[in-house]
Amino acid sequence: MDKHEHREKTIGVLVIAAGLGQRFTEAGGVTDKLQAAFADASGQLKSVFVHSCQAAQQSGLPVCVVTRPAQQAIRDYCEQQAIPTVLVENTRMGESIAAGVRQTAAWDGWLIHLADMPFISAATLQLVASKVVEEGIVRPVFRASPGHPVGFGRCAFRALSALTDEQGARSLLMQFPLYTIELQDASILQDIDLPSQLPAAESHAVAQRSRYAPGAELD
């Protein structure tokens, strides 16, 4: 290889699955939020976490999961699927992201994929990853509302790996150039916070599977 030839960039998916999901249990949830199950398009019951993680796996991008030691079901799934995991005791979003980024320091960019957003498709992950640039942040939007996953280029490595607060990487959005991708896909906004959202989740999974429509190029 010519020394001036650029190597292919490695953009990976960091699945954040370390939260406690207190709103879910306080609202009457009988299980951990990430273990609550709903049917996929074929009718197979899967946990919220598995829906989210399988989208990352199906994207073909490298995947790493950040979770807590107590999340044995998540750890077992990752072991079965040979997915690298990072265990954290602290449940703050910032520290979870930082731990995952430090563990994947060889990557050139990161998609922060929240495990409680199980409707995001592999196609959306691929699209956002394809737009990640070294010197900026990429975020999908739906009808002017910012969504997920957010993609960070290599420029953000030091800042990401030093995060500590509950706001996750939100504090970094003003520090680096921000590019947006307009999608006709409301799933980039939808998470599971309450048990009452699960029935809608099931119908959404059937109606919306892998449906996205990229709009304009980065602006």
pLDDT tens by residue, 168-192:
677 788 888 899 999 999 999 999 9
**Overall average pLDDT of the 142-166 stretch:** 93
| Band of residue 206 on the pLDDT scale cut at 50, 70, 90 | very low
Please state the rounded mean pLDDT for residues 55-67.
Answer: 98
Q: Which domains are assigned to the chain?
A: 11-190 (3.90.550.10)
Q: What is the pLDDT of residue 18?
A: 94
Q: Are 98 and 163 in contact (CB under 8 A)?
A: yes
Tens digit of each residue's pLDDT (9 = 90 or more) over 97-152: 999 999 999 999 999 999 999 999 999 999 999 999 888 899 999 999 999 999 99
pTM of this prediction? 0.86
Residue range 33-53: average pLDDT? 92
pLDDT at 205: 41
Confidence bin at 21 (pLDDT 50/70/90): confident
Burial call 49-66: b when 16+ CB within 10 Å, e when fewer: bbbbbbbbbebebbbbbb
The answer, yes or no, to whether residue 50 has pLDDT greater than 70, is yes
Place of tokens 């006709």: 184
- C-alpha distances out from residue 157 to 21, 64, 115, 171, 195, Å: 27, 16, 21, 14, 35
In sequence order, the β-bridge partners of residue 152 are 110, 137
Q: For residue 73, what is the enclosing H or E element?
A: helix 72-80
